Amino acid sequence: MNPDVVIIGAGPAGSVAAAMLAGAGFSVEVLERAHFPRFSIGESLLPQAMEWLAEADLLRDVVEAGFQHKNGAMFRHGDREESFDFRMKSSDGWGTTYQVRRDKFDDLLAKGAVRKGAKVSFGQTVIAMRPDPVAPSLTVRDEEGNEREITARFVLDASGFGRVLARLLDLESPAGFPDRMSIFTHVEDNIPPQAYDRNKILITVNPRNSEIWYWMIPLADGLCSMGVVGKPEHLAPYGSTREEQLASLVAESGLMGELLVNARRVRDVGEISGYAARVSSLTGPGYALLGNAGEFLDPVFSSGVTIALKSASLATHALVRQLKGETPDWDKEFAQPLARGVETFRAYVSGWYDGSLQKIIFSQPADANQIKKMITSVLAGYAWDEANPFVREPGKYLKMVEELCG
């Protein structure tokens, strides 16, 4: 029997969408190429994401998992330091969240979707897609090479960096950002208990090149995710291997290097390059693209999971209406509202790399307290709060504050 909905990918967007749709009474099959649990980068959630986990009835799964709490972010550049407490924001809503091991986080969300009634099939690769407004179909190959056809009433692509439908349907579009790469690993950090507030991620700017930055994300059980982001040509002089580059860069990072002086690596150094991506359209006949399958900006503000869950929520609401015989306007109900938040994050990512946002973060403009609360709201993921002028017209207000900073 064919399912009502097929979802490609069992990451956060796919599992949340599956849980919502199954909870609404529809049959759902999720096709995942990997086997869970599996490693993934992107461990730092934003508080706004908690709303959509609750909407999918998956919040309790996350709360009871024992992840590291998160209430903000610390930014460092040389001796300059600025802390953002997400509870001190202008928007209503959650002010805390978690820093998660994605292997465990993604696995528990997938299991939560199964608990809600969805079917999750692992080791499945989608090799062809035939769009159709009523009965889209997929060709799927398993790990033994067997192929099958699946026809559904709708397909959601939540394949993340795999970007399945973008590739199969030639939807790729210029991202608008220069190529950057990240080099990363997990360590047993051995940070002394009083040396750093583990409830906050640490974002550090390289002292010699402000386009290079580092992350340090304390996790539960004494682990830590650490990495560096920059243009390949900026990272290459630091060593002939990724391990050498990461070690050399961390050595000149200041506080981060001091905190991790006794760290012990517990997984190989990995890399992702050319990750910025977007598509010509998020929807088509019988399908829609969620999260990173449609667009990914940059890891600097940890927006990836938040955008993914927002897209899952918007798409599910529209799709439930369609499956019940109504005619949703996918552009107005899904693509446009999703884009508003994405464009807010885009303005902040652009401001980070052109230096204007770094200038604001490490300065004290006039009326700094209220301005900081509004910027904190965006950093906490409230990029769809139109009451916030830094969401409504982010470019304009960031430029204004930059000028106030001299």
Cis geometry, peptide bond prior to residue 37 (ω within 30 degrees of 0)? yes
User: Would you state the CATH architecture of domain 5-70+94-174+276-342?
Assistant: 3-Layer(bba) Sandwich (3.50)
- Domain boundaries in the chain? 5-70+94-174+276-342, 181-273, 355-404
What SS3 state is found at 168?
A: helix
User: CATH number of the domain at 181-273, please?
Assistant: 3.30.9.100
Q: Is-same-fold flag (5-70+94-174+276-342; 181-273)? A: no
Look up the pTM and report it.
0.96
Give the Å distances, CA to CA, from 94 to 63, 114, 118, 312, 372: 13, 26, 28, 19, 17
Predicted local distance difference test score (pLDDT) of residue 175 = 75
Predicted local distance difference test score (pLDDT) of residue 363 = 85
The candidate with the shortest Cα–Cα distance to 234, out of 164, 179, 170, is 179
User: Hey, which bits of 189-297 come out as E strands?
Assistant: 200-205, 213-218, 223-230, 264-265, 270-273, 278-279, 283-284, 287-289
Give the Å distances, CA to CA, from 206 to 81, 226, 317, 363: 13, 14, 43, 17
CA distance 44 to 63: 15
> Which token pair is 212?
């290079």
Tens place of pLDDT per residue across the chain (406 aa): 899 999 999 999 999 999 999 999 999 999 999 999 999 999 999 999 999 999 999 999 999 999 999 999 999 999 999 999 999 999 999 999 999 999 999 999 999 999 999 999 999 999 999 999 999 999 999 999 999 999 999 999 999 989 999 999 999 887 778 889 999 999 999 999 999 999 999 999 999 999 999 999 999 999 999 999 999 999 999 999 999 999 999 999 999 999 999 999 999 999 998 877 789 999 999 999 999 888 888 888 999 999 999 999 999 999 999 999 999 999 999 999 999 999 999 999 999 999 999 999 998 665 678 899 999 999 999 999 999 999 999 999 999 888 888 6
β-pair partners for 228: 183, 214
